[in-house]
Amino acid sequence: MLNKLTVFDFETTGLDPVNDRVIEMAAVRVVNGEIVTGFHALIKSEVEVTPKITEITGIQPAMLQGAMEEELAFRILRNIMADSLLVAHNAAFDLQFLHYALQRMAGKTFTNPFIDTLTISRERHTYPHKLTDMCGKYGVELQGAHRALNDVEGCWKLLEAMHNEDPVDRYINRLGYLSKYGPPNWAPAHADLFGTSNRYEPRNVG
């Protein structure tokens, strides 16, 4: 199942996929279990990069001067993706930004199947489920979290470890969301959406 996939990640100016913008993207194409190509770019943005976003990502506004144009970056990403299986951690977030960017630029969306490693994490493990936490649980080295290239490489190794633990085939196109927050505002038409909740380790009593 892992013979043709694209692991990708976006860093953005905020959480709104309609009005915020991608300021960094990275993707790796995996064929027969091996990374065969990769792409990483900082992207120009007409939306302000706030101090809070700089704090989270380390990306400063000055770093985006002379960065890649948005349309070119997404064209390259589309070429890498082709018809492969898309993989992301918290895919609901990244898939929404991908959809709205393609809508703005080309008036269309994508139809690729996908896997969300966060959905798998919530079903298999207790809270917390951030990429850094999950990589730690599986012994996957992750340096510089919240920078796109580091995150995609970590996400790929996490998926590989999860698949070796128990095949992840049944998670294709399954997208879990926290019931208390409701479903995402947009999801692919082929997504199997379902509500879930975090499980916690029992507290020690006594």
Kindly indicate the confidence band of residue 96, based on its pLDDT and cuts at 50, 70 and 90. very high
Kindly indicate the confidence band of residue 150, based on its pLDDT and cuts at 50, 70 and 90. confident
Q: What is the pLDDT of residues 48-74, one digit of tens each?
A: 999 999 999 999 999 999 999 999 999
Contacts 24+ apart (CB under 8 A), 102-108: 102/74, 102/78, 105/70, 105/71, 105/74
pLDDT at 205 over 60: no
Residues 135-148 have a mean pLDDT of 84
Give the predicted TM-score (pTM) of the model. Answer: 0.95
Q: State how far the Cα of 196 lies from the Cα of 123, in Å rounded to an integer.
A: 9
CATH code of 4-196, in short, is 3.30.420.10
